[in-house]
Every structure is written in structure tokens, then in C-alpha cells.
Structure 1
């Protein structure tokens, strides 16, 4: 059954769970919750404004949800004779197109019509992560071979970025498709020009780089490795603005999003944690725990994606529990 955000509150049990980031307390409940997958999901992605969710699950297959109207908008398939196990997806910044990928194929979808505008198959390696630009004009595909492919659909130009030496873990792209941020097991993240393939900045890490994200307005980049270095970079000069402050030796991020006003960074992790950070200082401001996936022992859930909504007053998450959840950002914090 679908539950409206405004009428349902999902309470998370926190007994026995300890604080994990700095001094920020962990909040115990969401403002509201809606079920997108009955028995949990394989993957999920939220549009930048939180209007849409892409969810890959057993019962609904590949689904696009309209979070404003609380409705299932489309059900898509990569192949009629397959389980459509989509593990990577992305929605363009202007909500015109979605790009979804299983390990061997990727498909471009028109969100207005629901139609597939392109279908491609990868032969030499597996797809690891994807991104799509506004109006579906540019596609970015990160592969297990370490190659990142940029496709300009208007010109049919295909550029292979060969700067990485090992498999790709995460990719992102500017809304206009001109710049790519890519991360690999080779301990490096690169910001590069998709027109020329030229590296603009190289971000070095002491371990494999597992997650990257670009601020859509071109102000910041975020890179994080598998141990303890997670940095917010100034894209005007390539210098570090701050490093996220946490005490764990390892802290993996599965979701990252910059706020539109440039003040905050929101992250999600495979350990249910949702955290709000101050971009300038790298300090954790607030923490939450998303609902666990049903019938998991110990209770667990991966935060797949996070968005700032309602003029940065709330956060919206999509997680492997199959739930989209809304979280209030304390007004005192916002001030």
C-alpha cells in the first residue's frame, strides 16, 4: 500500500546503536515514509530535486516513481527475458532523461514519454556506474576495465578516457555534459574535459577511491576513499576546502549530494547512516538512521541516494529497505 509523506511517520528503533560521526547526535525517526519495494530493492537513485526515484526491485522490476504525486510513473525493462537486475542509474539534472544499467547493457529513457531512446550493450567489460547530462545529450559509462566512455549523442562522438589503471567505482558529470569526475581502485579521482579528454585536476588518495560527486553549479567536487580520506574540493583552483571529520578508520559512502545553496553536503552509507556536513569545515552537523531492510539480522540497509528538498528544509532518501524517507533539517542548524 502507498503511504503519503504527509500522513505517515516511520519510527526507527535505535536501541544498542552507537553514535558514529563526531559529536552529532543520531535522530531516531523520519518525518514520513513511502514504500517503493515490498521486499527491499537492489538499487535506487533520486533526482537532484527529489521529484523522481528510480528503484530496481523484485516485485516492480525497474520502476520510476513520482514522489510529488506519490505514484508509480513507469515500469521499464532492459530485456524481456531477463530479471532486469539494474544496479546503476542516474537522472539528468533537469529531469528530462534517465540512464539505467545492468552489468552488460545501458538504456536511455525519456522521462516525459517513458520511451527508451537508446539501448547499448557492453562486450569487453562490465558497467560499474553511469551518468547522463541534461536533455539526454551526453552519456558517461564507467567500466570494470578502468575505461570511462563519454558519448555525445548529437554528434555520435565516442571518447574513451584511459587515465585510470584499475576498475571504475564511481562517476559523475556536469549537467551540460562538459566535465566528468571519475574514481577508481587506482587510488585516484580525475576531473576531466569530455570534449578533449584532458585532465583538469587529479585528486590523489591513500586507498581506492569509492565515491565521487560534482556540485551541479560547478563549485565543488567530492571524493572519498575506502579508508579515512573524504575531501570537498574547490573547483576554481583544485584545492581542498575541507576533509570530512569522522573517527572511524573506514567509512564508506554510498550516496552524496550537495545542497543548492552551497552550504551543506549530505551523505549516505551502507550502514544505514545519513549525515549532514558543513562544507566549509567538514564537520558533521546532524545524523539519522534509515529504516532497516525487513528480515535482516543484524538490522541493515544501504542508503542509495539522497536529495535536499523543500528549500533545503528536509532530506529525502532512497534505500535498500525499499522505502523513501523524509528527514527534517533542524531550523536552528539551517540558520
Structure 2
């Protein structure tokens, strides 16, 4: 049986049993002793990048369970990096504080550039495959797209208020941005032309592009989390949850966009069916030892060979197995 067939059979079992329980992780690896400010996992689960108080910025090889590199921003006595993102191909990492960002080569461990921002605070950031393009959203409502090879800079001025979330296609040609103006925009980074506009009843706090070019995800800070068709801009589904309010701290499409993994500031990690918006399975990540209250923010998650990997503010890499 192929891996795809195995995965589909597992998902079928989940649908049949309508899983609603929470499971403990099957393994834990400590990546930050007293918790993390930020973290990301590469799509293939091979690497994790973590920003923490004691270790600065750390890159871990999850296959070898080994620390690969430790980085720090230039001239920074104290680590203030609150954003860390892999490129789609995991060749590079971008890390950002409120007023600067740095780009790192995963193969060599070398920094390929440090960049200072003076006009406003960085709210979110994304990097393209091979680190040619970077996109960041600012507190003043601007989204800035830069070609790092040529220096070309494009400012997207569609938002009227603070930007909360950004994402960019692997080739750097398309961007999705969401802000406090209750709106998310899907736009062409070569022309700044708006391709789709998505309205929400409250502030848009999370956006995500599906890497195969099929779907978009937008969510606000209240009750609405939607999956859209990337080409037509038409709705595909709305995530079906009972809570009066649901906030997402991480989102990733997996298995060619058929499923969605979400994480929340309340330790919740969940797998959803993209077409129906139905929750298939959920877990709760572990809090940091001796923490009060027992809390953790899910920073990143991915699905590889039937196993979910997560990184959280507890500084733990956890592994979860899908129900069968």
C-alpha cells in the first residue's frame, strides 16, 4: 500500500469514529530550557528553528535530534526575535525582531543579510524559496515586498490599519495579507494588483496560502475561519467549531491541501478537512514544567508520514500519531 493510501485509510478511520478526544504526545524533545519566543518547523519536518531567552536562535535537525546551528542578530545583547520562518523549500530561515530581520542559509549556517526597518514595527514576515523575496507587514498598515537580488521594493497600501499576518507563495509572486481593517487581500507582488478581497466581521489575525496553489485560509479573532479557492476567490468551507471565540497561532495546509493543521494560544492542535471544514482530530500540547498557569502557544505544526510534529512556547518538539 502506498503512503498516500495509508494516510487516506487513517483519515477514513478518523471520520468514521468522529474523534473528539485529546491524546498525549508520543515523544517530546526539549528545544528551549525555559520556553520559546518563536518557532517554526519545516514542511517536511526535518528542521525546527527556535528563538529563546537562553539559546538565542537555534536550528535543530529533527531527524538526528541534534542542534545544528546557533545564531544571533548583530549587536543584540538580548535576544528579541519574536518571528522565525522557514522558506517553503527549507533552504533558508528568516528571523525578525520588531525593527530588523535576518536571513540564514540552512546548508551553511551563514547569515546572508541583516536588514533594519525604521518606519514602523514588523508584525509578520515571510520568505520565498531560495530566499530571493521577503514580505513583511507593518504596524502602520503597509505590506512591503523586496526582491533581495535586485533591491526592488514594492509597498502594498491596500490596508487601512495595522497588519497582523502575511504569507507569500514559494515563488514570491503572490501575497496574502490580513489586518485590523477586517480585511484580507490576495495580491500580485509584481504589480500590487488585488486579485481577491476577503471581508471578515472582525480583525483578521491569521492568513495562509496552500503551497500547491489551490486554497487560501483567512481567520479573524472572533468566530470566522474560512478556506477559499485561490483561483476564483469563492468559499470552499468554514471551520466548524463550537467555541464562541477561536484564535489561531499557527496554520498549515498538509497532504496537497486536503487537510489543515491549526494551533492555538490555548495549547490546542487540530486537524481539519479542508473541503468540509470538519474537525477530524485534536490534541493539546504540553505546558512548560512548573509553569503557572499551565499554558502554551502552538507556534508551528506539520504532518509527515502519518505523524504530526509541533513546536510550542513550552520549548518542546512533540510528536503525535493519527488515530487508526
Query: What is aligned with 2:301?
Result: 306
TM-score by length of 2: 0.93
C-alpha offsets along residues 192-223 of structure 1, whole Å, 9 cap, x if unaligned?
00000000000100000000111011100100
Structure 1 residue 24 displacement after superposition = 4.2
Query: What is aligned with 2:29?
Result: 34
Query: What is aligned with 1:324?
Result: 317
Counterparts of 1:240-319 in structure 2, within 5 Å, are 240-310=235-305, 313-319=306-312
Q: Larger deviation: 24-33 or 194-203? A: 24-33
Structure 1 residue 27 displacement after superposition = 2.1
Structure 1 residue 262 displacement after superposition = 2.4
Contact 2:53/2:79 (<8 A) preserved: no
Q: Larger deviation: 152-161 or 23-32? A: 23-32
Query: What is aligned with 2:107?
Result: 112
Structure 1 residue 89 displacement after superposition = 1.6
SS of the residue aligned with 2:208?
A: strand
Counterparts of 1:201-220 in structure 2, within 5 Å, are 201-220=196-215
Structure 2 residue runs without a partner (length 5+): 1-17
Structure 2 residue 249 is matched with structure 1 residue 237: no
Query: What is aligned with 1:143?
Result: 138
Counterparts of 1:193-204 in structure 2, within 5 Å, are 193-204=188-199
Distance across 1 between alignment mates of 2:316 and 2:174: 32
Q: Larger deviation: 172-181 or 27-36? A: 27-36
Work out which of the residue numbers 149, 160, 166 in structure 2 matches 1:165.
160
Distance across 2 between alignment mates of 1:281 and 1:328: 22
SS of the residue aligned with 1:135?
A: helix
Distance across 1 between alignment mates of 2:108 and 2:298: 29
C-alpha offsets along residues 46-86 of structure 1, whole Å, 9 cap, x if unaligned?
11111111101112111111111111111111133421211
Structure 1 residue 296 displacement after superposition = 2.4
Q: Larger deviation: 78-87 or 235-244? A: 78-87
Distance across 2 between alignment mates of 1:82 and 1:145: 27
Contact 2:51/2:84 (<8 A) preserved: no
Instruction: State how many pairs are aligned.
Output: 307
Counterparts of 1:171-190 in structure 2, within 5 Å, are 171-190=166-185
Work out which of the residue numbers 84, 90, 94 in structure 1 matches 2:85.
90
Distance across 2 between alignment mates of 1:188 and 1:262: 23
Q: CA RMSD in A?
A: 1.1
Distance across 2 between alignment mates of 1:156 and 1:91: 21
Structure 1 residue runs without a partner (length 5+): 1-22
Distance across 1 between alignment mates of 2:246 and 2:188: 30
C-alpha offsets along residues 312-333 of structure 1, whole Å, 9 cap, x if unaligned?
x0110000111000111123xx
TM-score by length of 1: 0.90
SS of the residue aligned with 2:247?
A: coil
Distance across 1 between alignment mates of 2:175 and 2:77: 31
- List structure 1 runs of 4+ shifted beyond 6 angstroms: none
SS of the residue aligned with 2:130?
A: helix
Query: What is aligned with 2:57?
Result: 62
